[in-house]
């Protein structure tokens, strides 16, 4: 039983949390006919839905059907090869949490590039797999410092444990404050806060959070900083807007942040925008929204 030629091949197939992956070593050839002969009629555990089959250095990944999922064990009645031996690899990496699709995809693409199916033996010796890894690329648009750029760093940490998200690859789109300042040369700059420890060579730099005496400066800040400036000094400043939300360019899924959002995450046109000081939970929600928008049919197998 192979899938029909006109059936579109699903990318990023990973087993769901409640689907068991068994690992079995066999002596037979790993083609579908030999595997069917070997497995059909044998008992498999109730939760076993997939089998990583090994013979020496060769690996194949198959899905199996059983007569029933009610008893603890039931005979296998059908078998389908998801990734045949020539297209399949077995990777051992104890740092990989195999319950996390992004971690599976990362390990597969790093250790077995070009392979359709990759079984990964990871943390705690657990084995899972991915077929046709093709992570969703998410552009992370923000400004630095701090280093590492905060939103990128937080999103990476969310993905490290994101069991319910499809594989995602973060692509940084980071602009430096000093680079933004150089777009508008000035002898005096005003930055939002001293905490960022940014100064601009050849210019005097003041920090808005210290509420300094008004000078004729150029504000390197966002709209919220401009509002604070107006509150302090009764007028708006000459400004370079640093809000990454307003930066143009780039296509596809974008994760960014905006100074004017305080508690909510906004999702529109494939772009998720979180508040400037977003929590990991908000970033997780934003990444889920992007996955739903860009990979609506993805679900664990
Ligand atoms: Zn903004």
pLDDT of residue 2: 45
Residue 195: which pLDDT band, with cuts at 50, 70 and 90? confident
Using the mean position of ligand 1's atoms as its centre, give its distance from the Cα of residue 266 in Å. 12
Paired residues of 118 in beta bridges: 89, 130
Using the mean position of ligand 1's atoms as its centre, give its distance from the Cα of residue 273 in Å. 9
The mean pLDDT value of the chain amounts to 93
Q: By mean pLDDT, which of 73-87, 223-237, 240-254 is the weakest?
A: 240-254
Using the mean position of ligand 1's atoms as its centre, give its distance from the Cα of residue 80 in Å. 51
143-182 pLDDT, tens per residue? 998 889 999 999 999 999 999 999 999 999 999 988 999 9
User: What token pair was written down for 67?
Assistant: 């007569």
Using the mean position of ligand 1's atoms as its centre, give its distance from the Cα of residue 239 in Å. 13
Using the mean position of ligand 1's atoms as its centre, give its distance from the Cα of residue 223 in Å. 6
Using the mean position of ligand 1's atoms as its centre, give its distance from the Cα of residue 84 in Å. 50
Using the mean position of ligand 1's atoms as its centre, give its distance from the Cα of residue 245 in Å. 6
pLDDT of residue 248: 81
Using the mean position of ligand 1's atoms as its centre, give its distance from the Cα of residue 26 in Å. 59
- The CA radius of gyration of the chain, in Å to the nearest whole number, is 26
Using the mean position of ligand 1's atoms as its centre, give its distance from the Cα of residue 174 in Å. 15
**Whether the predicted pLDDT of 4 surpasses 60:** no
Q: What is the mean pLDDT of residues 118-122?
A: 97
What percentage of the chain carries pLDDT values higher than 70?
97
Three-state SS string over the chain comes to: CCCCCCCCCCCCECCCCCCEEEEEECCCCCCHHHHHHHHCCCEEECCEEEEEEEECCEEEEEEEEECCCCCCEEEEEEEEEEECHHHEEEEECCCCCCCCHHHHHHHHHHHCCCCCEEEEECHHHCEEEEECCCCEEEEEEEEECCCCCHHHHHHHHHHCCCCCCCCEEEEEEEEEHHHHHHCCCCCEEEECCHHHCCCCCCCEEEEHHHCCCCCCCEEEECHHHHHHHHHHHCCCCEEEECCHHHCCCCCCEEEEEECCCCCCCEEECCEEEEECCCCHHHHHHHHHHHHHHHCCCCCCC
Using the mean position of ligand 1's atoms as its centre, give its distance from the Cα of residue 52 in Å. 49
Choose among 42, 30, 17: nearest CA to 128. Answer: 17
pTM, two decimal places? 0.90
**Whether the predicted pLDDT of 3 surpasses 50:** no
Using the mean position of ligand 1's atoms as its centre, give its distance from the Cα of residue 240 in Å. 12
Residue 6: which pLDDT band, with cuts at 50, 70 and 90? low
197 or 271: which leads in pLDDT: 271
User: What token pair was written down for 284?
Assistant: 């997780």
Using the mean position of ligand 1's atoms as its centre, give its distance from the Cα of residue 232 in Å. 20
Using the mean position of ligand 1's atoms as its centre, give its distance from the Cα of residue 140 in Å. 15
Using the mean position of ligand 1's atoms as its centre, give its distance from the Cα of residue 276 in Å. 8
pLDDT of residue 1: 41
Q: Are strands 253-258 and 136-144 parallel, antiparallel or unpaired?
A: parallel
9-32 pLDDT, tens per residue? 789 999 987 778 999 999 999 999
Using the mean position of ligand 1's atoms as its centre, give its distance from the Cα of residue 234 in Å. 21
User: What token pair was written down for 164?
Assistant: 């319910």
pLDDT of residue 7: 60
Using the mean position of ligand 1's atoms as its centre, give its distance from the Cα of residue 225 in Å. 10
Using the mean position of ligand 1's atoms as its centre, give its distance from the Cα of residue 61 in Å. 47
**Whether the predicted pLDDT of 247 surpasses 60:** yes
Using the mean position of ligand 1's atoms as its centre, give its distance from the Cα of residue 188 in Å. 23
**Cα(79)–Cα(25) distance, integer angstroms:** 16
Using the mean position of ligand 1's atoms as its centre, give its distance from the Cα of residue 169 in Å. 24
């Amino acid at each position: 039983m192979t899938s029909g030629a006109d059936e579109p091949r699903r990318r990023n197939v990973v087993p769901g949390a409640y689907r068991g992956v068994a690992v079995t070593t066999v002596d037979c050839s790993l083609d579908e006919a030999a595997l069917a002969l070997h497995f059909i009629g044998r008992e498999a555990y109730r939760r076993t839905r997939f089998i990583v089959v090994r013979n020496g250095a060769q690996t194949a990944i198959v899905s199996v059907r059983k007569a029933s999922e009610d008893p603890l064990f039931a005979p296998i009645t059908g078998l389908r090869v998801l990734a045949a031996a020539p297209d399949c690899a077995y990777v051992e990496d104890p740092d990989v949490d195999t319950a996390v699709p992004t971690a599976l995809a990362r390990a597969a693409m790093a250790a077995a590039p070009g392979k359709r199916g990759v079984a990964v033996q990871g943390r705690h010796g657990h084995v899972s797999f991915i077929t046709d890894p093709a992570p969703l690329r998410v552009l992370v648009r923000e400004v630095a410092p701090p280093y590492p750029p905060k939103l990128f760093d937080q999103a990476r940490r969310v993905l490290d444990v994101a069991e319910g998200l499809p594989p995602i690859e973060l692509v940084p789109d980071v602009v430096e404050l000093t680079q933004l300042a150089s777009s508008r040369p000035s002898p005096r700059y005003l930055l939002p806060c001293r905490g960022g420890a940014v100064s601009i060579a050849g210019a005097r730099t003041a920090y808005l959070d210290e509420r300094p005496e008004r000078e004729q400066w150029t504000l390197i800040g966002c709209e919220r900083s401009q509002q604070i400036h107006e509150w302090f000094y009764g007028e708006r400043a000459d400004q370079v807007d640093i809000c990454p939300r307003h930066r143009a360019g780039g296509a596809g899924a974008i994760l960014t942040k905006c100074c004017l959002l305080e508690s909510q995450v906004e999702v529109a046109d494939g772009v998720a925008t979180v508040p400037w000081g977003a929590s990991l939970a908000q970033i997780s929600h934003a990444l889920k929204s992007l996955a739903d928008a860009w990979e609506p049919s993805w679900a664990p197998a």
